[in-house]
Structure formats: C-alpha cells, structure tokens
C-alpha cells in the first residue's frame, strides 16, 4: 500500500481559481472513494469568498495510487464565466495539483522506550501506596511521555503505556505533517498555465476530454517536406 500527499492550490490566482479548487476537490474526493482509497485532509486554507478553497492538502493511501494520480497531477483548467464577476472577459482559469514530499514518520521501537516504575498515587488504599506498580514511559526520539497507573499490575501498566505511547507518537507524526504542509508555499508561487491534465467547462463543471488530432500537424509536415524537396 502506498501513501501520497497531494496538494490542490489556486496559487496566486483570484477568487475564481479558489472556486475551481473547491469544485475539483469535491470531484477528486468522490473518485478516491469510488476507487477505494483512504484519505485524510491535512490542511485546508479557505478562500476569501464563501465556498472557495485557496489550497488543500490530502494524505492518500491505497494500491495503484501512482497510476490513479497520473491524470490529476499538473495544471487543471476550467473554462467558464466568472461566478463572482459576471462581466469579466476572462474565460480560462487555472489551478495546480502537486505531489508533496513526505516527512519521515517516527515509529515506536521498545528499545527506544525508557521505563520507570514509580509508586501509584490516589485512591486504592495502603497496597497502592506501597507497591511501585505505576509506570512512566518515555519515547526517547520524540521525548513523549506517558504515566500509567490503571492497574495494580506493573506488567499490565507497562503494556498499556506502550500502547498509549504509540497513539501519542502517531498523533505527533500527524501534527508534524500538518505543520510541514502548512509551511510549504512553493507551489503557491508558481503555476504553469498551459498543457492542462484536465479541463472542465461551464457552470455545471463538466469534464471536457480533448481528443488528440494529429491530422493537421501531419499535413503541415508533409507540405513543408514537399517545399524542401522542390
């Protein structure tokens, strides 16, 4: 199973581009579900107008993910009249879809956990106060700690501590990823307006598939070749 991080962005485009991001996002998520990919939205920056999205970053997991994304990565075009400026002459609006670099995810290894047995506190009578059954566990690479005193059994508390550390490290990874994505602005600064991988048209946002036709190009080449042979 592969994991990819994808970002849709309106770059420095106007509200119309942010509106296109919102429309494309809806279609994209629908396709993810149809193709049985799992996803989570890591960061979402809303646009200035209602119903618009300036940028959105999504973590996606699934099989054959690379092949699926081939038809999405690149420039996406919408041909239509501005929904915010009716008399605006511009008809072509562009957004970008990019794959972001993933940060290294930290994992739990028991050899990297430091355990300390301490006396439990609180309710439980004399037995709780005398026996060092509570466990403080520290994940050394991240400095994340947990204190577990759920059970009178030190062994059980140790197992619980490991499980809670795993959850905390997982949340730590997610938060680090969100922060990294939020700080990644390179894609907002440059967006190629041309050679779109997908084109949508009209207010109903229909997908427009441009059929490739090489006949004109072939005839032009033939004409040029004849001129050279004369």
DSSP letter for each residue of 117-128: EE---SSSHHHH
Q: Where are the domains of the chain?
A: 2-104+185-213, 110-178
Question: How does the average pLDDT of the chain come out, rounded?
Answer: 82
CATH numeric code, 2-104+185-213 = 3.30.70.1660
Helix segments in the chain, DSSP class H: 15-34, 65-69, 125-130, 154-182, 186-189, 215-229
Which helix (H) or strand (E) segment is 206 a member of? strand 206-208
Domain 110-178 has CATH 3.30.160.20: yes
For 220, half-sphere exposure in the C-beta direction (CA atoms, 13 angstrom radius) is 5
Q: Do 2-104+185-213 and 110-178 show the same overall fold?
A: no
pLDDT given at position 211: 47
pLDDT given at position 75: 92
**Contact by Cβ (8 Å): 119, 130:** yes
User: Mean of the pLDDT values across residues 52-70?
Assistant: 94
pLDDT one-digit tens code per residue, 124-171: 555 544 567 899 999 988 899 999 998 888 899 999 999 999 888 888
For 138, half-sphere exposure in the C-beta direction (CA atoms, 13 angstrom radius) is 7
pLDDT band, residue 29 (cuts 50/70/90)? very high
Q: How far apart are CA 91 and CA 87, in angstroms?
A: 10
- CA torsion sign, 109 to 110 to 112 to 118? positive
User: Mean of the pLDDT values across residues 41-50?
Assistant: 92
User: Mean of the pLDDT values across residues 194-215?
Assistant: 76
């Amino acid at each position: 199973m592969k994991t990819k991080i994808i970002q849709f962005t309106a770059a420095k485009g106007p509200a119309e581009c942010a509106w296109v991001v919102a429309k494309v996002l809806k279609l994209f998520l629908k396709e993810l579900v149809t193709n049985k990919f799992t996803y989570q939205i890591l960061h979402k920056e809303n646009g200035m107008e209602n119903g618009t999205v300036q940028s959105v970053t999504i973590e996606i997991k699934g099989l054959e993910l690379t092949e699926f994304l081939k038809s999405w990565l690149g420039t996406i075009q919408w041909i239509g009249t501005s929904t915010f400026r009716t008399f605006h002459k511009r008809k072509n609006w562009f957004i970008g879809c990019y794959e972001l670099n993933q940060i290294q995810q930290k994992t739990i290894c028991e050899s990297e956990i430091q355990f300390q047995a301490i006396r439990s506190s609180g309710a439980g009578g004399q037995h709780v106060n005398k026996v060092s059954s509570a466990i403080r566990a520290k994940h050394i690479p991240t400095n994340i700690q947990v204190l577990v005193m759920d059970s009178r059994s030190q062994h059980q508390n140790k197992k619980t501590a490991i499980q809670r550390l795993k959850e905390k490290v997982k949340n730590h990874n997610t938060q680090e990823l969100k922060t990294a994505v939020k700080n990644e602005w390179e894609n907002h600064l440059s967006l190629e307006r041309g050679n779109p991988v997908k084109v949508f048209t009209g207010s109903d946002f229909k997908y427009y598939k441009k059929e490739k036709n090489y006949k004109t190009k072939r005839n032009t080449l033939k004409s040029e070749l004849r001129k050279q042979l004369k």
